[in-house]
């Protein structure tokens, strides 16, 4: 059975896995495991490692880690801190898997449109990163109290309607000049279920096709296209409008689209208080990334 | 038959009128007329003038003028200018109906949340208004090339989650200090139909209940509560998420709500390019209002 | 000797006190004390309590507390936290002096122009306040884990060029509706000396004349005009351009003005990295205010 | 006599030329001409075409066109339109000089820090450009009513403190991917004189050293470094703080620096209403550039 028919539009590998399971689809090559931490945090891992699994899921081969915490959406302070630490730990582990240098150079890219609130997550995360590359380059690592400091730079490429360029073109050009060891992208994602909005973080080593969650077709920001590994981090902040309806009436996306205004394509559903959510989550992401990149001893022990 | 059952959630009196007609509801006291202008512009007038009509529509007695232009959503330059002039003309006519002074003092209030893109219409419109009150007060009308200049001031009260206060409290306080002859509110509205998003302007003399389009309950910003007439101008930029689904499956809102995630309440649907739309429409509104308030001779002749 | 001649343009009572001392001016009625805390923090108190002192300083009678910490301008994390706690402690003490209720209602007003970076301190501080009034009003204090929660609301009135209204008019109107027990204003100030930019916090019970630091004349936001006590908190982020020159050449402001372009009036001097400074300080202020208003036990013990 | 001693810090070649003349410096290789247009607009041309002139002025060889209009700073509508047309005409002429294609591909780069008001000119100009590259690329020129449409793309690289990268690195990377026929940079400049703030536009074919006006040292964004011609457009919005003082006391910059706080280095002077000025000028620049790139017949005739 074709995945297209039943997989509602989602950027979360976890939701794709759930859909396939529900539909009794052939799952060879799609592996799944889950662990429960304190504070109600659930960390699940989906790996896609066969051509069959790629076809079934419509996703590239790779590893997808999801950190879920329902209380995150309520802004619970303690939960936020626990999720931040878990994000830092998972990111460190992804970095180790793609880069064997002890001290490295990372480029963090904040994807999305700063002027559309639920899409501003990436740009706003980069706004609060601890940027070190220019200081390391000019004064050396001794400029910092911690000599193990990594070189971190950040880019907010904007969206095609603003720049006339694919994100990939901009990032590719910058990577070829700046030559980071790897790229980390931050993006707002589309989920299938309202319950995952604002309380789920996905990390993957497959890179990302920007805007794929809401129906765009762009070239992927990934190792193949950039020549360096790409770790993609995302949090769902919207649901595709067609998905909302098809899920409610239990119909396929295609049949639903017929029921509805054609204008609904390219629309998204988001909560009214999305400004507060994006502000909080951009802060959480930047803190988790800063922690992962800081290389200080405390973190080394804690692993 | 109760209006509640069949009237999908909308801020547009025109859509309520359409729903009632479709449902063969008793329409006594709901009057409707329509004229077609050049450039594909349609101006329609709904008046609600009986208690029966108030019950049927769930709206206060008053006059609702709607300016529609499909090409507006595509940013057609000529169409924009024609709509701007029509808006100016209708606003002047509303002002004449509520204020008999030749030169008057107006307070324009930009409602909504500046940090949520589709809700930023009101604040961004006020950003581009031609504000004169402080200059008239300090230097007199002779400071302007046009001595007929009205006194215009502007307020962006923010939303309750930011201020802890009802908009009505803030506006009421400011009105009691500043004593304008009337208030004009600007707000982003919720429509029922995607086809009206970004291409429909509603003016009404009934004031507005802020956020009513997306399920809030606040006290009305109207003549009764402020002590001065209130002209409310709005453009739909979102659709209520529950409405999208109920319209697609042709069910009542109540039944739809049961089908769906409770989290869907308080969510809205909006297009991905809402940033461009809001920028363009805020510009159009401020230009139309500036034109209406300018009192220059050209406009007087053009009526 | 007239204070006007020698007092360079400053919003800091501490700098006025220093100027008077340097000029051997009669200082009766101007009291000064200073204490040094850990982390290089200096807390000084200037009180002005005679008509003579009012004339000499050009300031209203009252108490001015200044918290200085040179390392604050470098963003030292530990210093930031120590200053935040000291700010909270001083604000609590000001609140106790003006309001004898155990649980109170506060209105915090963010003065200044959000669109001019060094003037955005007040608005950005209010953006991050913990606003409780609407929740207390709708659900009662039991909605919070801490039942001692105070009722806090926030207002960003904008500046006259944007609104056409004096800040005082807007605040007065809102105070008359909302009836807080007292008002706290937050504003960016003008210092005389570059060394105080971004590392000095002034608290005073005299209220504030908005924009007074850069040559405007507005009515004071104070107890007399609002009918409730006003605690004004400010941090210098600019220096008046004429002051920079007059200090350099050791001339009076009047003589300097003659040397210079008349256009220099109404100009200000500010550092290139003012965006980072304002972001950090707005965060520090909101945190200190949130802490002061939280009424939790830890803080009570710590006093 | 060394130019350094007497040339106050300025980005305007016109001001350098004036200083040299005043100081009776050897002016061989510095050519100057001026024409007066209607509406009080003055267009002057400085060319620097010898090594001697390069040394005397501290500027690279090239052509500097300045459009001045005192009434621009007052926002005079008619003057704005005349300056916009003149800007468009001069830009077209620069484009013809560097690119012989009838239909071309341009990359416009908005330099500066979006979060510091006087430095936001470049980013805000790019926000309002008519971006066509992605549409031309996907649908061809027939997508536009005007088949002569050029391919225009836009980039806002941010500043080094935000990105950790030199602007040059980012632009170089993007140019190597996107391969425009030429680059146009937009930047806020530093003037020497308050009278030129906000009412002077400079165009040059020499490119630009970003931030050079306020004391930074960065690699030049120019033909040599990018491999394609660079046309730099700028408007002064600030004055270097040390320059303000040295001009007032008629001293050299070096002596002045001794008189003053070392912190004054890296500070700038700007007017209080800089938000309105930058908004208006960013609009003017984008309109002038859009006009120059539109290639429509009216403009062709008007030359």
What is the per-residue pLDDT across D98-109, written as a single tens digit (0 to 9) for each? 999 999 999 999
User: A151-155 and B230-240: which strand pairing?
Assistant: unpaired
* Neighbouring residues of D90: CB distance < 8 A, sequence distance ≥ 6: D43, D65, D67, D203
Residue B1, pLDDT above cutoff 70: no
Q: Please report the DSSP string for chain B in residue order.
A: --HHHH--S-S-HHHHHHHHHHTT---TTEEEEEEE-GGG-EEEEEEE-SHHHHHHHT--SEEEEEEE-GGGGGT-HHHHHHHHHHHHHHHHHHHHHH---SS-EEEEEE-S-TTSGGG-HHHHHHHTS---HHHHHHH-GGGSS-TTPPEEEEE----HHHHSS-HHHHHHHHHHHH--SEEEEEEEEEESSGGGTTSEEEEESS-B-TTGGGT-----BSHHHHSS-EEEEEEEEEEEHHHHHHHHHT--HHHHHHHS-GGGTTEEEEETTHHHHHHHHHHHHHHHHHHHHH--HHHHHH-
Contact at CB, A267 and B161, closer than 8 angstroms = no
| Smallest Cα distance from C241 to chain D, Å | 7
Q: Chains that contact D by 3+ CB pairs under 8 Å?
A: A, C
| Smallest Cα distance from D168 to chain A, Å | 10
Q: Give the pLDDT confidence of D17-71 residue by residue, as tens digits.
A: 998 888 887 788 999 999 999 889 999 999 999 999 998 888 999 999 999 999 8
Between D135 and A256, residue with greater pLDDT:
D135
Residue A152, pLDDT above cutoff 90: yes
* Phi and psi torsions of B5, nearest 5°: -60, -40
Residue of B nearest to C175 (CA): B173
Q: Is A216 on the interface with D (CB under 8 A)?
A: no
Which residues in chain B have Cβ-Cβ distances shorter than 8 Å to A214?
272
Residue C148's pLDDT is what? 78
| Tokens, residue B270 | 């909006």
Residue B2, pLDDT above cutoff 60: no
Residue A256's pLDDT is what? 64
Q: Give the pLDDT confidence of B12-50 residue by residue, as tens digits.
A: 999 999 988 888 877 889 999 999 998 899 999 999 999
Q: Is A260 on the interface with B (CB under 8 A)?
A: yes
Residue B202, pLDDT above cutoff 60: yes
Which residues in chain C have Cβ-Cβ distances shorter than 8 Å to B120?
none
Contact at CB, C175 and B173, closer than 8 angstroms = yes
Contact at CB, C267 and D266, closer than 8 angstroms = no
Residue C3's pLDDT is what? 36
CATH code given to domain D3-293: 3.40.50.1450
**How does residue B187 score in pLDDT terms, banded at 50, 70 and 90?**
very high
Residue B216, pLDDT above cutoff 70: no
CA atoms within 13 A on the CB side of D54: 7
Q: Is C110 on the interface with B (CB under 8 A)?
A: no
Q: Give the pLDDT confidence of B50-79 residue by residue, as tens digits.
A: 999 998 888 999 999 999 999 888 888 899
Residue B211, pLDDT above cutoff 70: no
Residue of A nearest to D125 (CA): A162
For B110-131, b/e burial (b = at least 16 CB within 10 A) is: bbbbbbbbbbbbbbbbbbbbbb
**How does residue B264 score in pLDDT terms, banded at 50, 70 and 90?**
confident
- What does pLDDT average to over chain C? 88
Which residues in chain A have Cβ-Cβ distances shorter than 8 Å to B263?
194-195, 197, 271
Contact at CB, B174 and C153, closer than 8 angstroms = no
Nearest CB neighbour to B134, from listed C135, C160, C172? C160
Instruction: Encode chain C (303 residues) as per-residue pLDDT tens digits.
Output: 333 434 457 899 999 999 888 888 778 899 999 999 988 999 999 999 999 999 888 899 999 999 999 988 888 889 999 999 999 999 999 999 999 999 999 999 999 999 999 999 999 999 999 999 999 998 887 778 777 789 999 999 999 999 999 999 999 999 999 999 999 999 999 999 889 999 999 999 999 987 654 444 568 999 999 999 999 999 999 998 888 887 777 665 666 656 666 778 889 999 999 999 999 999 999 999 999 999 765 444 443
| Smallest Cα distance from A204 to chain B, Å | 25
| Smallest Cα distance from C107 to chain B, Å | 9
Contact at CB, A178 and D169, closer than 8 angstroms = yes
- Give the whole-angstrom CA distance, residue A289 versus residue A229: 17
Which residues in chain D have Cβ-Cβ distances shorter than 8 Å to C194?
261, 263-264, 267
Q: Give the pLDDT confidence of D195-246 residue by residue, as tens digits.
A: 999 999 999 999 998 765 444 456 899 999 999 999 999 999 999 888 888 7
- Give the whole-angstrom CA distance, residue B274 versus residue A118: 11
Contact at CB, C271 and D267, closer than 8 angstroms = yes
| Smallest Cα distance from B176 to chain C, Å | 6
Residue window 120-179, chain A: list those with CB within 8 Å of chain D: 126-127, 131-135, 151-156, 158, 160-166, 169-170, 172-178
Residue B253, pLDDT above cutoff 90: no
Which residues in chain A have Cβ-Cβ distances shorter than 8 Å to D176?
173, 176-177
| Smallest Cα distance from C15 to chain B, Å | 32
Contact at CB, C165 and B152, closer than 8 angstroms = no
Q: Is B286 on the interface with C (CB under 8 A)?
A: no
- Give the whole-angstrom CA distance, residue C86 versus residue C91: 8
ipTM value: 0.92
| Smallest Cα distance from A273 to chain B, Å | 8
- Contact assessment for residue D215 and residue D9, using Cβ atoms and an 8 Å cutoff: yes
Residue A151's pLDDT is what? 96
Residue A301's pLDDT is what? 40
Which residues in chain D have Cβ-Cβ distances shorter than 8 Å to A132?
164
| Smallest Cα distance from C221 to chain B, Å | 15
Contact at CB, B263 and A194, closer than 8 angstroms = yes
**How does residue B257 score in pLDDT terms, banded at 50, 70 and 90?**
low
Q: Chains that contact C by 3+ CB pairs under 8 Å?
A: B, D
Between D242 and A115, residue with greater pLDDT:
A115
Residue A112's pLDDT is what? 96
* pTM for this prediction: 0.93
- Give the whole-angstrom CA distance, residue D164 versus residue A137: 9
Average pLDDT rounded to a whole number, residues A224-229: 97
Q: Is B193 on the interface with A (CB under 8 A)?
A: yes
- Give the whole-angstrom CA distance, residue C122 versus residue A62: 47
Contact at CB, B263 and A197, closer than 8 angstroms = yes
* Phi and psi torsions of C203, nearest 5°: -120, 140
Percent of chain D with pLDDT over 90: 67
Q: Give the pLDDT confidence of D113-171 residue by residue, as tens digits.
A: 999 999 999 999 999 999 999 999 988 877 787 777 899 999 999 999 999 999 999 99
Contact at CB, B270 and A266, closer than 8 angstroms = no
- What does pLDDT average to over chain A? 88
Residue A27's pLDDT is what? 81
| Tokens, residue A21 | 């399971």
Residue B296's pLDDT is what? 65
Residue of D nearest to C250 (CA): D259
């Amino acid at each position: 059975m074709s995945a297209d028919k039943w997989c509602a539009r989602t950027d979360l590998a976890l939701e794709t896995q759930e859909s396939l399971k529900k539909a009794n689809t052939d799952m060879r090559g799609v592996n799944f495991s889950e662990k429960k931490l304190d504070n109600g945090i659930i960390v699940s891992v989906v790996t896609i490692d066969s051509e069959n699994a790629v076809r079934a899921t419509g996703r590239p081969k790779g590893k997808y880690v999801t950190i879920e915490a329902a209380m995150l959406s309520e802004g619970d302070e303690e939960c936020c801190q626990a999720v931040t630490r878990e994000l830092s730990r998972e990111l460190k582990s992804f970095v180790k898997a793609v880069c064997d240098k002890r001290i490295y150079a990372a480029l963090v890219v904040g994807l999305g449109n700063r002027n559309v609130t639920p899409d501003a997550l990436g740009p706003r995360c980069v706004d609060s990163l601890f940027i070190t590359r220019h200081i390391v380059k000019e004064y050396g690592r001794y400029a910092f109290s911690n000599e193990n400091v990594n070189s971190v730079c950040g880019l907010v490429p904007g969206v095609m309607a603003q720049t006339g360029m694919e994100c990939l073109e901009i990032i590719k050009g910058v990577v070829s000049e700046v030559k980071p060891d790897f790229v980390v992208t931050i993006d707002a994602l589309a989920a299938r279920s309202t319950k995952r909005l604002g309380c789920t973080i996905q990390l993957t080593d497959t890179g990302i096709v920007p805007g794929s969650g809401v129906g765009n077709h762009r070239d992927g920001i990934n190792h193949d296209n950039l020549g360096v590994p790409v770790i993609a981090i995302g949090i769902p902040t919207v649901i595709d409008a067609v998905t909302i309806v098809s899920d409610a009436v239990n119909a396929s996306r295609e049949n639903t689209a017929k029921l509805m205004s054609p204008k609904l394509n390219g629309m998204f559903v988001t909560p009214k208080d999305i400004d507060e959510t994006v502000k909080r989550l951009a802060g959480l992401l930047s803190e988790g990334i800063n922690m992962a990149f800081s290389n200080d001893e405390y973190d080394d022990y804690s692993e």
